[in-house]
Structure 1
Amino acid sequence: MRKTLLPAVCLVLLFACSKSGSSLSKADLLTAQPWKIVADSILPGRNLNGVLVTDMYSTYKPCERDNYYVFSKDGTLEANNGPTKCYPSDHQFLKLTWFLEDGETKLRLSPDNQVFIIGIGTPSDIVELTATAMTLRSYDYNTDGSISRIHTLQFRH
């Protein structure tokens, strides 16, 4: 009896743990903690001083690498310049709004033309969103509607 009871209890606990972990909504995952960019890539690359660069994160200054992003449950996003601002006159933070759309598969920031803040166009596909990692992908389009560039950002807590 003990030999069959132990595996059964383990299975019940395993399913209970996996269900409780998956009960967090995407909004809960977004708003749990501040996010920092840890990777920024673009395909095809950008020509920077005659060099084609696909790893845009390698071009970030230290004052950009400490920026962080706080998603709040009320739909606001604080894009914070972190402890080190690039220029003393820079704002410490900017407030935006965010919302999920298309069955929570896309993240949209408003106003839409704030691409310079966190480096993404809006809306962005949510490629990955877990308790510790987020990957967003956005696209630039040619005038004919074809994709000209793919921009991928990875965030961590």
Structure 2
Amino acid sequence: MRKIILPAICLVLLYACSKSGSTLSKAELLTAKPWKIVADSILPGRYLNGQLITDMYSTYKACERDNYYVFSKDGTLEANNGTLKCAPADYQSLKLTWFLQSGETKLSISPDQVFITGLGSLCDIIELNAQEMVLRWYDKDNTGTVTRVHTLTLRH
């Protein structure tokens, strides 16, 4: 009897675990835990100190690498400067708003604080799972032509 019950229990638990991971909405994944930027790239690149840089994360200072982002279920977003601030006068946290749009394929953040937070104001969600989020947004010139593509990877 034990030989039958134990495998049956294992199968039920395996099925339950596999189902529970796939039922979280994108909003639930976003709000589960704080996020930190772990990669930041830009194409075709930006000139810094006379050098074309595509890996923007390599230019982050320690005071920028400890910043984190908390998405709350009420639609607020806290952009926090973490333990290390680059300058004493820098904000500790900035309150923004967020929402999903276009069938949960886009993340909208307002007001636009891309130069302060590092997050674009309207991002395509390339990947979003329990461990990682990959966002992409585009700089456009006055004619609407894409001039740069930003890709940002965040993890818990």
Q: Confirm or deny that 1:42 pairs with 2:42.
A: yes
Paired residues of 1:79 and 1:117 also in contact (CA < 8 A): no
**Greater than 2 Å deviation, 4+ residue runs:** 3-18, 142-146
Could you tell me how far 1:118 is from its partner in structure 2?
2.5
Could you tell me how far 1:154 is from its partner in structure 2?
0.4
Paired residues of 1:141 and 1:147 also in contact (CA < 8 A): yes
Find the aligned partners of 2:139 and 2:121 in 1 and give their Cα distance: 10
- Percent identity among equivalent residues? 72
CA RMSD of aligned residues (A): 2.1
Q: Which residue of 2 aligns with 1:62?
A: 62
Q: Which residue of 2 aligns with 1:16?
A: 16
Paired residues of 1:37 and 1:155 also in contact (CA < 8 A): yes
Q: TM-score, normalised by structure 1?
A: 0.89
Find the aligned partners of 1:91 and 1:5 in 2 and give their Cα distance: 58
Find the aligned partners of 2:52 and 2:114 in 1 and give their Cα distance: 21
Q: Which residue of 1 aligns with 2:78?
A: 78
In structure 2, relative to structure 1, the CA distance for the partners of 1:6 and 1:137 (3 Å cut) is same
The secondary structure found in structure 2 opposite 1:58 is helix
Report the count of equivalent residues. 156
Please list the CA deviations of residues 39-62 of structure 1 after superposition, one character each: whole Å capped at 9, or x if unmatched.
000000101111000000010011
Q: TM-score, normalised by structure 2?
A: 0.90
Could you tell me how far 1:17 is from its partner in structure 2?
2.5
Q: Which residue of 1 aligns with 2:102?
A: 102
Alignment map for 1:113-152 (pairs within 5 Å): 113-152=112-151
In structure 2, relative to structure 1, the CA distance for the partners of 1:139 and 1:4 (3 Å cut) is farther
Could you tell me how far 1:9 is from its partner in structure 2?
7.2
Please list the CA deviations of residues 82-104 of structure 1 after superposition, one character each: whole Å capped at 9, or x if unmatched.
00100001110000000000000
Find the aligned partners of 2:29 and 2:109 in 1 and give their Cα distance: 17
Could you tell me how far 1:25 is from its partner in structure 2?
0.8
In the alignment, structure 2 segments of 5+ residues that lack a partner are none
Q: Which residue of 2 aligns with 1:31?
A: 31
Please list the CA deviations of residues 30-80 of structure 1 after superposition, one character each: whole Å capped at 9, or x if unmatched.
111100000000000101111000000010011000000001111100000
